[in-house]
Structure 1
Amino acid sequence: MRLTSFTDYGLRVLMRMAGTPDRPFTTAELADEFRVSRNHLAKVISTLSAAGYLETRRGGGGGAVLARRAEEILLGDVVARLEADQALVECFSPGGATCTMTPHCRLKARLAGAEAAFIADLNRSSLADCVYRPFEP
C-alpha cells in the first residue's frame, strides 16, 4: 500500500505536535520545518482539525495543538481518515465499476481484506508511540 503525501504530512504534523503537546504550531512554521508549501500544509491542518485531531486558534499566540492526548490517537484511524478519498484500486471508488472483471473478480475481496488488515495493524499503535522531538540546542 502506498500513502499519499497528504497523509504523510498529516502524520508528520501530528508526530511533531505530540512532541510538545502544549505548544501551538503555526502552519508557516511547520511548512518551513518540513520544507513543503504553506498552502498544502494548510489543507492538511484543516483536514486534521475537521477530523477532531487538532484544535486551531487564531490571533497572537495562536496556531494548532493536539485536540486529544497522543495516546488516544490511533495511527490506523488517522491513515483511514486522510486516505478516505483515495481508493486502493479503481473498483473501490464510488461509481468505479468500469473494470470488465468486476462481476466475477476474486481479487477485490482479498484487497479489501488486506487494506483492513493494514489499518488494523496500524491501530495497534498510537501517536504516542511515534512522538517526534527534534534536537533543539
Structure 2
Amino acid sequence: MRLKKYTDYALRVLIFTAAKKEGQLANKKEISEVFNISENHLGKIIHELNKLELIHTVRGRSGGIKLAHKPEDINIGKVVRSMEDDFYLLECFDCQTNECVITPACKLRHVLKDALQAFFQVLDGYTLEDLVSNRDELRALMQLS
C-alpha cells in the first residue's frame, strides 16, 4: 500500500503546525522551505485541510495557519481517510472497473481487505499528539525557534 504525496504532505503540514510553540502560527513559506515542497502545492493542501476543519487559516500580513483542534483530538486514521480518494489495492476492489475473471473465487481480495482494515486499525490508534510528542527534537530539525 502506498499513500499519495498529497497525504504525506498534509501530515507534514499538521506535524509542522503542531510542533510550533503555543500561540505561534505556521506559514506556507516556512513549511515549503523546511520540506522542500512548492508553495503552490502546499496552498492546495492547506486549503483542503481548512475545508476539513483540521486547521484554521488567518489572513493578513502576520497571518498563517493554526490547528483547529488540540493535537490529541486529531486522529491520524481519519486524516489519511480524508486525504486519500480511494483504497483500491487491486482491480477487484473497484466493482466498476474489475475485469478479473477469477474474482468470484479469489481469496486474495479478502486477505487484502483484512490487511487494509488492520492498517487503519493501527492508524486509528494514533493522534497528532503522538506524532509530535518529541516537539523539541522536531523543532530543532525544522530549525524552529
TM-score by length of 2: 0.82
How far apart are the structure 1 equivalents of 2:23 and 2:42?
20
TM-score by length of 1: 0.87
Match of 1:4 in 2: 4
Greater RCO structure (CA 8 Å; 6+ sep)? 1
Q: Displacement, 1:121?
A: 0.7
Match of 1:102 in 2: 103
Within a 5 Å distance, the mapping from 1:1-137 to structure 2 comes to 1-20=1-20, 22-93=23-94, 95-131=96-132, 132=135, 133-135=138-140, 136=144
Letter in 1 for 2:139: P
How far apart are the structure 2 equivalents of 1:28 and 1:90?
39
Q: Displacement, 1:94?
A: 6.4
Contact 2:16/2:26 (8 A) holds in 1: no
Q: Displacement, 1:86?
A: 4.9
How far apart are the structure 2 equivalents of 1:117 and 1:111?
10
Letter in 2 for 1:109: H
Identity of aligned residues (%): 37
Distance 1:95 1:16, change over 3 A: same
Identify unmatched segments of 5+ residues in structure 1. Answer: none
Further displaced range: 18-27 or 56-65 = 18-27
Give the total of aligned pairs.
137
